[in-house]
Amino acid sequence: MRRLASTTIVLMALLLATLASAPGVSAQATDAHPAVGVWLTDGSPDDTTDPLDLLTVAPGGIVTIALPDGTGYGPWAATGERSLDATFLAPQMDPECGCLLGYATFRTSIEVAEDGQSFAGTYTFEPPAAMAEAMGLPVGQQVGPGTVTGQRIAVEPMGEPVPFPEEPAE
């Protein structure tokens, strides 16, 4: 039993060392990347009725996106001084039963502008296999490459609150 525990500890240490040295995974490599921050994104720039999404690119290679139907999570890796690739999974719900169909896969490549306040890129969308099959579509990446843009959300100082108007007395 003691030998099994020692072997497990050694294997875990090797796994962690491998992950820490993998390209694009190191926190040090991602901390200073210009994409780190919070962004208001538009996955359909030509469609003004499509809602915007909130994207967080966190140090350490984690990406989170708030979509109208749920939140997507995944990893990102730098591909250049101002560019990155990311993959995230987001739940896809069946509107009839409210049940989870599976997770859609989004893959994206973006490039941050030189001023660091915007980005542009492309993405693909792959619905869950059950969803594609139910719609009579082949399983795999269905949409793309689409165009995505983003605007950095900056910290703003708090302003002076505007008082609500008083209700007229009856």
pLDDT digits over 127-148, tens only?
Answer: 888 777 777 777 777 777 889 9
Separation CA 56–CA 66 (nearest Å): 9
- Write phi, then psi, for 134 (nearest 5 degrees): -65, -30
Instruction: Count CB atoms within 10 A of the CB of residue 33.
Output: 20
The dihedral built from the CA positions of residue 107, 112, 118 and 121, taken in this order, carries a sign that is negative
Mean local confidence (pLDDT), 66-88: 93
- pLDDT at position 9, please? 41
Q: How confident is the model at residue 17 (pLDDT cuts 50, 70, 90)?
A: very low
Topology of domain 24-152, per CATH?
Lipocalin (2.40.128)
- pLDDT at position 76, please? 96
Q: How confident is the model at residue 102 (pLDDT cuts 50, 70, 90)?
A: confident
Checking if the pLDDT of 16 tops 70, the result is no
Q: How confident is the model at residue 21 (pLDDT cuts 50, 70, 90)?
A: very low
